[in-house]
Amino acid sequence: MKRREKTKRKNKMLLPHKKVESNSKHHHLSVSNVRMCLFYVLFFFIGEFVIKKLYDTLVKNDENRPRSPFSLFWMKGILFAAIVAFLSNISPNFAANLDFGNTFLEGVESAGVSYPQNIISVAHLNASSVSKDNDVRVLNTAAQEKVKASSDYANFLTRSLSDKENPIVDVSATDDPIAQKYVQNILKIGSIEDKNIQKLKRVELDNNRSFSSSGKIQTRLIDDTRVALGTNAYAGGFGSIAIGAKYENGKWDLGTEARAFPRDSVSIGTNSLVSASTNSAKNGAEGVAVGYFARVVNNRGVALGPYAVTMVSSSIALGERSRAVTSGGIAGYDPVSDKSTSQTSPIWKSSSDYGVLSIGNTEDAAEDNWVTRQIQGVAAGTADTDAVNVAQLKALRKTIKGGWKLSVANKNAKTVDPESIVDFTSGSNNLTITKGGQDNNVKFDLAKDVTLSSAKVGNNTLDAKGLVIPGGPQITTAGIDAGNKEIKNIKAGELSANSQQAVIGSQLFKTNDNVAYTTNRLNALENNIKFNEAEKWMALGFSAQAQGEYAIALGYKANVAKANGIAIGQMAHAVGLSSIAIGSEYHKENGDDYTTAKDDYTTAVGAISKALGYGATALGHRSYAYKNRSISIGFYSRANNDGSIALGSDAKANVDGGVAIGKGSVASVAGNIAGYDPITGKNTIQTNVIWKSSPGSGAVSVGVITGDAKDWKTRQITGLAAGSVDTDAVNVAQLKALRAFAAQGWKLSVGGANATDVSIGGTVDLAAGSTNLKITKGEKDNNIKFDLAKDITLDRAKVGGNTLDATGLVITSGPKITTAGIDAGNKEIKNIKAGELSANSQQAVTGSQLYATNNNVTQNTNKITEANTKITKNIADITTANSNISSLDKNISTYFGGGANVLQGKGPTYKIQDQQYNDVGSAFEGVNSSFTNVNNKITEVEKNLLVKQEEETKLLSSDEVSKKGMGVITIGKETSGIEISVLNQEKFTRTISGLRGGKLTENSNEAVNGGQMYVLGNKIATYLGGGC
């Protein structure tokens, strides 16, 4: 923009378009001037001969020393300067008129030259501006430098081929009435105004065929293979052509300030550039920059569009302001892991030497400044590396939207949609269901206690304000707090008219280098040109031919065969109607090989480029567009089929309508191909253009997907806006959104708390928290069964008011069986098996055993009473016997027994309880002792009896007194021990029956019966549900 403003300011100083009378006199060649001219020519040829000899001698003496191609040129320049200085000293008059004296457009205040019947008309000068001698007069009352024809004609060539807004050559306007009035043969130089005429100084027509001006408009045919056309244009490489203004060219430039420094590169458009720095001819090799301010900074890049920029090797920037800044070897987004993939195949990771294809610019931190665009007309992709369209995304969403079905015991099945919640809740406090806060593992368990467990939240907080991590970063609505860390490595800002980005020192340094380099080059180079003109066509160059109306041929043997054709460059051939061939370099090893625009309306630009099909376009070194309406742009690019497009070095489009974009890309997939259907997992059977590409519309390729996968070349497409219709391409943001939607799956919670998403492919693990519960699932189905384990372990179980815990069973208002013992709770204990009756026995005895003991005691008491009666009777008898002893002397001994013989004085011997007695008294005393022992034994047995019945008057409770026969029966009340065993002699268990239900209270220590346990079991089953 600054350069244009500078040009406008200069234009204000140019000649006004109005009649101005000239006060100066016409100058004519004098005899002395003619002599001086002859003298000058003689000096020139002699000097050139001497310089050439000197140069050849230097080269011969030092063959190994590299020589600049300009060495001979500079030596000639020095010689020329010496001649000018010499002639200036000899003839100041001639020196003042060095640019052919008065013969060609001389003057400060006015200028003119007479060329009868052959006039150059500059910028529609009116009739008053043309002298009677048919001169062109450039009138100006202000002080100006001397006018030269070199600038006029250089401007004519430059503007005609580089400045569309101010065309100068207008061969269609040769019927201009004013011009025809004064001349016969006209080459009309534009429709510009007088103010666009530049200051001119010198015309040179020598062996180099040059034509230059101080206005730095320079056009020259450097040798037979290179052509530079435009303001300070320079063709640096063999067979190269530079067309444009204000810069130099390494291969191909077309447009104002177009620049292409490295080899085999193409630069088309105002201020377009190939190569980041003029100090390196390697950067941007084989690159293509097309468009206003288009830039290719690295090798084999393609920038197509105004302000399009490629920063990395083999990348592509497609469209206005697109920027390709991502190198190859980038891992793509994996929707399964929600991060960059770890896979290394070219399907998931772009090829390392193939940069990105960008159709926008997303470098700016502010999304409002991003440039994105949609890709429309995209058929459903088939291969893994094909683009996906919206229709495929919709189909996938439909599949995900279907959800899954949930049922319990194969009843009441209901669809679970991705956005719905599946909530597991326990039917009572007896069951606990837990799920991890960060996972989908669900645990079912019997509660350790009857109360619910509470959920706890970690230290991190995510709410409507944002995410706050204690001791870490904070991202809230107030902004991003990075923890007062330094932000480093700021990327260089964009250099454009509308850029608001910061420019760093390195960028400005490069710009200054570029300006200095350009200034030096412009000051160092001089241009030469030779031309021939005809009525309606133009041919410039040795053996150049232009046939047909409005044809233009520039360059060695350049050839135009039909009307409106343009051929520029060595051996360039524009064969078809309105065809354009711009390029140099000629090879004859395998026959004639040169830049060719063969068919009608074809365009071939580049060394040995060929546009062979009707309406075909080939741009770049050896780029070939073989078939009708095909386009090939880039070094060695090939568009081999009808309507195909190859964009980038070595790009190849091998199918009708195929598009290959980027270095080395190959478009080999034809049209009419069915895309991949995510529902079926294979190619679709649908035939509409959404799911199947149109016949004749080949695929768009940004890489190479042929042969072994290891040889594939892939690249990313960046700057892609979200597609909206079914045939639009889908970007990663849409894929992420779908993944987020799919990842929601369905929500899982327990007790309505801690809900999390169960994503597609996620696992929900239903696990038992302990061995008390069993959860099983069929191997081939999704039926889940919950069951109570046959053996359960609890801290405490409550059934009604009854409690079973580690201390035992407590039945409210009933018996208690605890570690402290058995408390029957004043209830009967029935069906107890008779316990062992022994000195060491600790077994409970039954009522029948006690009854039998009581009976035995009663019988013994009766027998003792009977014995006492008999003893009393015996005593009486003894008394009687004593009285009758004298008479019974014979029988006393008999009566005493025990071997007594009264007559012989032998006493009796009695044995009672193993104790011998020799007299009757001792014997009775022994009997008395025996009875005493028996009574003591009975008393002891009664005292040690485990089962006893207390008096009937004992209180049982605070409001009830036992009635007749309701005395409390105790077991082992007066003995120690902690266990009552009812095992039989074979160690088999016995059933205690007839047991009254004990109290089931928190403090009850009474025994419970089977009926109470049955009721408890039913209640637990009811609480658990599920058919337990």
Q: What is the 3-state secondary structure (H, E, C) of 392-449?
A: HHHHHHHHHHCCEEEEECCEEEEEECCCCEEEECCCCCCEEEEECCCCCEEEEEECCC
Mean pLDDT for 899-917 is 67
Sequence-separated (6 or more) residues with CB below 8 Å from residue 1008? 802, 809, 811, 814, 815, 817, 997, 998, 1000
pLDDT (0 to 100) of residue 218: 44
pLDDT confidence of 45, banded at 50, 70, 90?
low
Burial 350-367 (b: 16+ CB within 10 A, else e): bbebbbbbbbbbbbbeee
Mean pLDDT for 608-628 is 93
pLDDT (0 to 100) of residue 169: 37
Provide the phi-psi class of 232: left if phi over 0, else alpha when psi is between -120 and 50, else beta: left
Report whether 854 contacts 846 (CB < 8 A): no
pLDDT (0 to 100) of residue 659: 94
How many CB atoms neighbour CB 81 within 10 A? 10
pLDDT (0 to 100) of residue 210: 38
DSSP one-letter string for 810-838 = E-TTS-EEETTEEE-TT----SPPPPP-S
pLDDT (0 to 100) of residue 598: 93
| Residue 513 in this model has a pLDDT that exceeds 60 | yes
User: Is residue 876, in this structure, part of any structural domain at all?
Assistant: yes
Q: Please tell me whether residue 2 adopts helix, strand or coil conformation.
A: helix
Q: Which residues pair with 444 in a beta bridge?
A: 433, 768
Report whether 742 contacts 402 (CB < 8 A): no
Sequence-separated (6 or more) residues with CB below 8 Å from residue 780? none
pLDDT confidence of 948, banded at 50, 70, 90?
low
The last residue of a domain, from among 915, 945, 975: 945
Nearest to 700 by CA among 649, 735, 759, 660: 660
User: Is residue 44, in this structure, part of any structural domain at all?
Assistant: yes
The mean pLDDT of the chain is 67
pLDDT (0 to 100) of residue 499: 75
Q: What is the pLDDT of residues 242-281, one digit of tens each?
A: 455 444 444 445 555 555 566 667 777 777 677 655 444 4
pLDDT (0 to 100) of residue 778: 79
Nearest to 950 by CA among 963, 965, 964, 969: 969
Q: Please tell me whether residue 158 adopts helix, strand or coil conformation.
A: helix
pLDDT (0 to 100) of residue 706: 86
Report whether 673 contacts 687 (CB < 8 A): no
pLDDT (0 to 100) of residue 629: 95
pLDDT confidence of 747, banded at 50, 70, 90?
confident
Which range marks the domain in which residue 151 is found?
31-196
* Rounded Cα–Cα distance for residues 97 and 208 (Å): 22
The last residue of a domain, from among 894, 925, 945: 945
pLDDT confidence of 910, banded at 50, 70, 90?
low
Report whether 846 contacts 947 (CB < 8 A): yes
pTM for the predicted model, two decimal places: 0.43
Q: Which residues pair with 121 in a beta bridge?
A: 188
- Within 13 Å of residue 311, how many CA atoms lie on the same side as its CB? 15
CATH of the domain at 850: 1.20.5
**Domain total for the chain?**
2
User: Is residue 590, in this structure, part of any structural domain at all?
Assistant: no
User: Is residue 463, in this structure, part of any structural domain at all?
Assistant: no
User: Is residue 602, in this structure, part of any structural domain at all?
Assistant: no
User: Is residue 652, in this structure, part of any structural domain at all?
Assistant: no
pLDDT confidence of 927, banded at 50, 70, 90?
low
* Rounded Cα–Cα distance for residues 373 and 394 (Å): 20
pLDDT (0 to 100) of residue 335: 84
Q: Are strands 821-823 and 816-818 parallel, antiparallel or unpaired?
A: antiparallel
User: Is residue 720, in this structure, part of any structural domain at all?
Assistant: no
User: Is residue 633, in this structure, part of any structural domain at all?
Assistant: no
Q: What percent of the chain has pLDDT over 70?
A: 50
Within 419-523, strands assigned E span 421-424, 431-435, 441-446, 461-463, 466-468, 474-476, 479-481
Q: What is the pLDDT of residues 806-838, one digit of tens each?
A: 887 777 777 777 888 777 777 776 667 777 777
Report whether 825 contacts 811 (CB < 8 A): yes
| Residue 600 in this model has a pLDDT that exceeds 90 | yes
Nearest to 586 by CA among 559, 564, 619, 612: 559
pLDDT confidence of 36, banded at 50, 70, 90?
low
The last residue of a domain, from among 163, 196, 229: 196
Q: What is the pLDDT of residues 404-459, one digit of tens each?
A: 777 777 777 777 777 777 777 776 767 777 777 777 777 777 666 643 333 223 45
